[in-house]
Chain A
Amino acid sequence: MNDKMRAILESKRLERNRLALLPFAEKIRLLEKLRDRDLAIGNSALCQARGSRAGRASMLRETDAGNNPCS
């Protein structure tokens, strides 16, 4: 790993720590924004076009299909 990548990962870690330290109510507001964004993506034309293909793929995945905005 080069210095540039190390710096990027460190900045991501610091941002995650900053977010983790926010008051719970503030994190809930961010969580609601994340969910609204996922729902908007899920309703987008691209996701709609993926249709049944995405549905079938989500059934085959072990990870939670509920977290996939296109599922």
Chain B
Amino acid sequence: MKETLEAIRGMKAENIIGAYAIGGAVGATFYLEPLATMDVDVFVSFKGQADSALISLAPISSYLKAKGYGFRGEYAIIGGWPVQFLPPADALGEEAIAEAVDTEVEGVPARVMTAEHLVALALQLGRAKDHARILQFIDAGVLDAGKLDAILARHGLTAKWAGFEQRFLGRSK
């Protein structure tokens, strides 16, 4: 993981990427107990790119290939970890990157999405494992309810959250 973070730092230093944030299970591990996962999801902002309508991950691929890293499908293999670089799908994804938390792992800087953004993104995705992860966040008591409500309202997810609460927490709408 340290090598992954160092590669990201290198890309940032050389302006290959702008803002970024770790999401997925590795991001959730910042707040919860370690969650078994096979890959690392790194969300990369392309805001400010000359033509943001034509988002391309090619500069990232080229940089990593030049550094000798291999690829498997859409994953770059860095330090033995499959790493997927993902552009944000919408305004929620952009916000999750912009408001990520700065931390470090063994002296290497890292940016991790907030717990509330991880939950909002999981709600938006809505797969079984996303629902399970939301429940883990609730169970762990690490969510700021006010902050989460504001994010959900900003991104049109309030009704979906009410449905989630009704289905999984037995709370009426």
List A residues at the B interface (Cβ < 8 Å): 15-17, 19-20, 24-25, 27-28, 30-32, 34-35, 38, 62-64, 66-67
Q: Which residues of A contact B81 (CB under 8 A)?
A: 35
Q: Chain B: how many interface residues by the 8 Å CB criterion?
A: 25
In chain A, what residue has the closest Cβ to B127?
A62
Q: Any chain A CB within 8 A of the CB of B37?
A: yes
* A15–B32 CA distance with the chains assembled, in angstroms: 11
Which residues of B are at the interface with A, using a C-beta cutoff of 8 A? 1, 26, 29-39, 81, 103-106, 110, 112, 127-129, 140, 142
- The residue that A62 contacts in the complex, of B29, B31, B128, with Cβ under 8 A, is B128
Min C-beta distance of A70 to chain B, whole Å: 12
CA distance A35 to B112 in the complex (A): 20
A27–B30 CB distance below 8 A: yes
Q: What's the least CB distance linking A32 to chain B, in Å?
A: 6
- Say yes or no: A67 contacts B105, CB within 8 Å: no
Known A24-B105, A66-B38, A66-B39; contact A16-B33, beta-carbon cutoff 8 A: yes
Q: Which listed residue (A17, A19, A24, A66) contacts B37, Cβ 8 A?
A: A66
Q: Which residues of the partner chain A approach B105 to less than 8 Å between Cβ atoms?
A: 24-25, 28
* A-B contact sample (6 more), CB < 8 A, given A20-B33, A63-B127: A16-B140, A28-B26, A32-B1, A35-B81, A62-B127, A63-B128
In angstroms, how far is the closest chain B Cβ from the Cβ of A27? 5
Contacts A19-B34, A20-B33, A66-B39 given: A31-B129 contact, CB under 8 Å? Answer: no
Are B103 and A24 within 8 A (Cβ)? Answer: yes
